[in-house]
Chains A and B, each alone.
Chain A
Amino acid sequence: MKFTLKIWRQKNAEAKGAFVTYEIDDISPEMSFLEMLDALNKGLVEENKDPVAFDHDCREGICGSCGMYINGHPHGPVPAVTTCLLSMRHFRDGETITVEPWRAKPFPVIKDLMVDRSALDKIQTAGGFISVNTGSAPEANSILVKKHDADEAFNSGICIGCGACVAACKNASAMLFVSAKISQFALLPQGRIEAKERVRSMVEKMDDLGFGNCSNTGACEAECPKQIKLTNIARLKREFYKAL
C-alpha cells in the first residue's frame, strides 16, 4: 500500500509548526499505524532528516502513551482501538492521511505529534488515589463488594488516560477522564472514605489547568479506545453535588 501523509511538524513548544507532506510506499496492510510511522522515520533517518516525534510505549493498547489525531479522529477512524493497534488495512490504498497532535490548551506540543499530557497526571495526583498503609495485600474477601459495583468500577478503571476524550471534545474537556477516575473509587467501599475530598480536588484541578466544560456532545464516549461511558460523567456530577 502507498499513502500520502500530511504530518504536523513542530520543532518545539515555542516554534511555529506546519504540515509537511510525505509519500510512503511498500506499507503492508497488517502493519500498525505506528509501524508505518516507524517505516517513514527509518527513511527520514537514512536521508539524514529529523524523524517525526511521536509518543509510544507498550504498543498493545494498554499504556495510553500513543495518541494522535488522524483524519479527524483521535486514534484514527476505527472505534475502540488506540493508534498502536490501528491497522493500515483500515485505510484505502493511495489515501491521504492527515496526522495532527492532540489540540488542547492543557496539552502543549512538545515536538511534532508529541504533546505534554502531564495535566492528566496532575488531576490524578490531586485525589485519584486511596490512602492506605503499605504492607502485604489484605485478604480479598475481608471487604465484600457487590458484583455489579465491582464490574462498574472495573469498567471505569480501565481508562488508560490517553487523552483521546480531551482531543475529541469540541471544548477540550477532560470530564470523561476525571469521571472515570472518580467512578472507579466512588463505586468501591475503599474509595468512599475520601470521596468528597477527592471529587472536590480533582474537579478544581481540572478547572485550574484550563480544560473546557462538558456540553454533553458525546464525542468523548464515541472516541474513547476503552469505551468509557458518559454515565460516568453523571456519576461525577452526583459525587460533586454530594461533596458541596
Chain B
Amino acid sequence: MALAGLFLLLFLPVHLAINFLLLKSDPDPFNRAAHFMATFPVVKIIEIVLFAALIIHFLSGIYLQIINWMARPVRYSVASRTETFFFSKFMIWTGAAVLTFLVIHFFNFYFIRLGLVEGNPEDFYSVAHDLFKIPEYNIIYLLCFILLGLHLFHAFSSAFQTLGLDNRIWKPVVDAVAWIYAIVIPAGFASISLILWLFR
C-alpha cells in the first residue's frame, strides 16, 4: 500500500511539469511531450509499473478498509472526540473521489490513445484546452485536486511511518515535506485549470 502510493507520488510532479506546457500558445511542445510519454519504451515500462501500483494501491486500500470496518462491528454511540490527524479519517473517501476523477480522466485522454474513445491522440493539447473551457469540468477538476491534496498530505507522512522510516528526528522534516507536496502539486494542477478557464 505505502510503496505503491509512494510510486504514485513520484509520477505526479512529472505529469504536472508536462501540464505546464498547456499554458504555452504553441500546442507543439505539449503534444510532443505527450507523444514521447506514449511511445518511449522506458516510459511504456514505467507505465505498466504505474498501473500495477495504482491497482495494488486501490485493492489493498479496499481490503484494509473492510478489515478495519469488521474490527469494530458495534460502533460507539458518542462519536470520537479524540484529536487526530484530521485528514487521516477520510482517506477512503478522498481516495474514492480521486479514483472517480481518474476514470473521467482516462475517458478524456488515455482511452483516446487506446482507440476506445473517439479523438485525436496526437493533439491532446486541443482536447485539454476544449475541456478547460467547460465550467462544470473545471469545477469537478478543482474539487478533485482539493481532495487529492487532503489525501496526499496524510498519504505522504503515513507512507514513511508504514515503511518504518519515521522517528523523532525525521518526523518534523517528513511532515513539512508532506505539507509542501500536498499543497504545491494540487495547486499546480489547479492553477493550470484556472488560468485556461478564466484567462484564455
- Interface residues of A, Cβ cutoff 8 Å to B: 19, 69, 71-74, 77, 98, 100, 103-106, 168, 170-173, 210-219, 222-223, 229-231, 233-241
How far apart are the CA atoms of A240 and B70 in the complex, in Å? Answer: 24
Smallest distance from the beta carbon of B23 to chain A beta carbons, Å? 36
User: Is B77 a contact partner of A98 (Cβ separation < 8 A)?
Assistant: yes
Smallest distance from the beta carbon of B52 to chain A beta carbons, Å? 21
Task: Tell which of B68, B157, B158 has the most Cβ of chain A within 10 Å.
Answer: B68
Taking A215-B91, A230-B161, A237-B164 as known contacts, 5 extra A-B pairs with beta carbons closer than 8 A to each other, sorted by chain A number, are A210-B70, A211-B71, A213-B64, A216-B88, A219-B84
- Contact of A216 with B72 at beta-carbon distance under 8 Å, contacts A71-B78, A71-B81, A170-B80 already known: no
Q: Does B26 contact A (CB under 8 A)?
A: no
Smallest distance from the beta carbon of A23 to chain B beta carbons, Å? 19
User: Is B80 a contact partner of A219 (Cβ separation < 8 A)?
Assistant: yes
User: Is B70 a contact partner of A73 (Cβ separation < 8 A)?
Assistant: no
Partner of B80, one of A72, A231, A239: A72
- Contact of A216 with B85 at beta-carbon distance under 8 Å, contacts A231-B167, A231-B171, A241-B164 already known: yes
- Contact of A98 with B78 at beta-carbon distance under 8 Å, contacts A212-B67, A231-B168, A237-B162 already known: yes
User: Is B163 a contact partner of A237 (Cβ separation < 8 A)?
Assistant: yes
User: Is A168 a contact partner of B154 (Cβ separation < 8 A)?
Assistant: no
Q: Does B82 contact A (CB under 8 A)?
A: yes
- Contact of A210 with B71 at beta-carbon distance under 8 Å, contacts A230-B161, A234-B165 already known: yes
User: Is A217 a contact partner of B72 (Cβ separation < 8 A)?
Assistant: no
User: Is A104 a contact partner of B72 (Cβ separation < 8 A)?
Assistant: yes
Partner of A173, one of B71, B91, B165: B71
- Interface residues of B, Cβ cutoff 8 Å to A: 64, 67-68, 70-85, 88-89, 91, 154, 157-158, 160-168, 171
User: Is A234 a contact partner of B81 (Cβ separation < 8 A)?
Assistant: no
Smallest distance from the beta carbon of A154 to chain B beta carbons, Å? 15
Smallest distance from the beta carbon of A22 to chain B beta carbons, Å? 16
Partner of A103, one of B72, B88, B163, B165: B72
User: Is A100 a contact partner of B76 (Cβ separation < 8 A)?
Assistant: yes
Give the residues in chain A near B68, CB-CB below 8 Å: 170-173, 212-213, 215
Smallest distance from the beta carbon of B92 to chain A beta carbons, Å? 9
| The 3 A-B residue pairs with the shortest CB-CB distance in the complex, in nearest-first order | A212-B71, A237-B164, A72-B81
How far apart are the CA atoms of A66 and B51 in the complex, in Å? Answer: 49
Partner of A19, one of B77, B82, B84: B77
User: Is B171 a contact partner of A72 (Cβ separation < 8 A)?
Assistant: no
Give the residues in chain B near A171, CB-CB below 8 Å: 67-68, 71-72
Give the residues in chain A near B88, CB-CB below 8 Å: 215-218
User: Is B78 a contact partner of A223 (Cβ separation < 8 A)?
Assistant: no
User: Is A72 a contact partner of B76 (Cβ separation < 8 A)?
Assistant: yes
* Residue of A with least CB distance to B157: A216
How far apart are the CA atoms of A235 and B74 in the complex, in Å? Answer: 31
Smallest distance from the beta carbon of A147 to chain B beta carbons, Å? 16
Give the residues in chain A near B161, CB-CB below 8 Å: 216, 230, 233-234, 237
